[in-house]
């Protein structure tokens, strides 16, 4: 794991990525905080090991590196869970992370689970005859939830907590599958924008092939985040940073040079996905209700696994 903090080109002259100056972080500080966070979450829960769903992308790659750095690679299990249409390059990139870290890994194909529900051209699935016409979105969400189910099963067999790999950008715009890729015991990178994820990934030494490729949910061949959202990450990250973290109004953002139509669209994405970032509401009936007037830390004396 190298400590090269700058997003400098590694070999070539092409910069690895664009880092908006206001989003630049001190990666040493971030690694220190995240390391303490990972160790603290595990200790408070009574666990010594962790399991990460490794897609071959930058977010889960970074999390694997950070977990290995925090608790040692021997306590980390990486799960590779390809579907039959998943990009072979993603699998190769995930395998490279496992090889470099020297951690345990397991490949679990989710194809039979997904196809078992939606069916194939020849065999109807458990989801009924209509399921074979399901949209890419339905299939993508289902696949994400199958991966979640496997992740939590392996959390038991590995005796490790499931570590989240979602970033702040996708969480804020709601580019996540509820109870799918966003499901986790704790998330060490959920307050970092994609641009900051890239900066930190360089610092911890995530393989360059992963740093260079276009971010993709890989729910269907050729899909990329930026094409699907119609915004580049540096612009989206800056917009979200000023709007959310720095509380700037749409008028102020327009004065800064952001396209007002884009600001409005992103505002709608953020407001429309509020439900994905919160615990579902419980109808208030009794004297004390979790989340309302029953307020305890998640981990307190007695809550660690014995």
Interface residues toward another protein, by CB under 8 A: 22-26, 28-30, 32-33, 36-37, 40-41, 44, 294-301
Provide the minimum distance between the beta carbon of 247 and another protein in the complex, in angstroms, as a whole number: 11
Instruction: State how far the Cα of 39 lies from the Cα of 259, in Å rounded to an integer.
Output: 42
Closer to another protein by CB, 27 or 177: give it: 27
For the bound state, the minimum distance from the C-beta of residue 301 to another protein, rounded and expressed in Å, comes to 5
In 3D space, the residue among 81, 41, 40, 74 whose CA is nearest the CA of residue 60 turns out to be 81
Instruction: Report the nearest approach of another protein to the CB of residue 144 (Å).
Output: 24
Nearer Cβ to another protein (283/295): 295
Q: Using the minimum distance from each CB to another protein, give the nearer residue, 21 or 222.
A: 21
Nearest to another protein of 260, 294 (CB atom): 294
161, 149 Cβ separation under 8 angstroms: no
**Residue with Cβ nearer another protein (22 or 228):** 22
Count CB neighbours of 284 within 10 A. Answer: 11
Whole-angstrom distance, CA of residue 78 vs CA of residue 89: 17
- 20 vs 72, beta carbon nearer another protein: 20
Element (H, E) at 129: none
Q: Name the minimum Å distance from CB 199 to another protein.
A: 9
For residue 76, the SS3 value is: strand
For residue 290, the minimal CB distance to another protein (Å) is: 11
Residue 278, number of CB atoms within 10 A of its CB: 8
H/E stretch holding 46: none
- CB of 153 or CB of 245, closer to another protein: 245
DSSP secondary structure letter of residue 53: E
Radius of gyration of the chain (CA): 20
Residue environment code for 102-137, b if the CB has 16+ CB neighbours within 10 A, otherwise e: ebbbeebebbebbbebbbeeeeebeeeeebeebeee
Nearest distance from C-beta of residue 258 to another protein, angstroms: 20
Supply the DSSP symbol for 8. Answer: -
Considering the complex, what minimum distance in angstroms separates the CB of residue 129 from another protein? Answer: 46
- Please state the closest distance from residue 136 (CB atom) to another protein, in A: 34
* DSSP-assigned beta bridge partners for residue 79: 53, 106
Report the greatest alpha carbon distance in the chain.
64
Q: Which is nearer to another protein, 28 or 228 (CB)?
A: 28
**What is residue 214's DSSP assignment?**
P
Whose CA is closest to 238, among 246, 226, 227?
246
């Amino acid at each position: 794991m190298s400590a090269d903090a700058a997003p400098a080109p590694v070999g070539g002259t092409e910069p690895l990525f664009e880092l908006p100056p206001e989003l630049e972080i001190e990666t040493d500080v971030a690694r220190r905080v995240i390391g303490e966070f990972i160790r603290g979450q595990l200790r408070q829960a009574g666990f010594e090991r962790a399991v990460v769903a490794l897609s071959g992308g930058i977010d889960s790659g970074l999390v694997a590196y950070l977990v290995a750095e925090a608790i040692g690679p021997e306590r980390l299990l990486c799960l590779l869970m390809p579907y039959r249409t998943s990009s072979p390059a993603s699998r190769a990139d995930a395998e490279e992370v496992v090889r470099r870290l020297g951690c345990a890994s397991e490949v679990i194909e989710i194809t039979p689970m997904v196809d078992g529900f939606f069916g194939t051209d020849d065999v109807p699935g458990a989801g009924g005859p209509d399921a074979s016409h399901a949209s890419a979105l339905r299939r993508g969400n289902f696949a994400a939830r199958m991966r979640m189910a496997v992740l939590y099963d392996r959390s038991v067999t590995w005796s490790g907590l499931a570590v989240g790999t979602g970033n702040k950008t996708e969480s804020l715009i709601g580019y996540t599958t509820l109870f799918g890729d966003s499901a986790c015991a704790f998330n060490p990178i959920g307050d970092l924008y994609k641009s900051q994820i890239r900066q930190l990934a360089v610092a911890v030494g995530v393989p360059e092939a992963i740093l260079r490729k276009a971010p993709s949910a890989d729910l269907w061949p050729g899909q990329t985040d930026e094409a699907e959202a119609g915004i580049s990450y540096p612009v989206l990250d800056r917009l979200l940073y000023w709007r959310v973290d720095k509380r700037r109004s749409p008028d102020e953002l327009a004065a800064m040079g952001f396209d007002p139509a884009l600001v409005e669209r992103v505002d709608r994405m953020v407001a429309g996905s509020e439900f994905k970032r919160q615990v579902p509401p419980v109808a208030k009936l009794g004297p004390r209700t979790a989340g309302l007037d029953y307020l305890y830390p998640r981990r307190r004396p007695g809550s660690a696994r014995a």
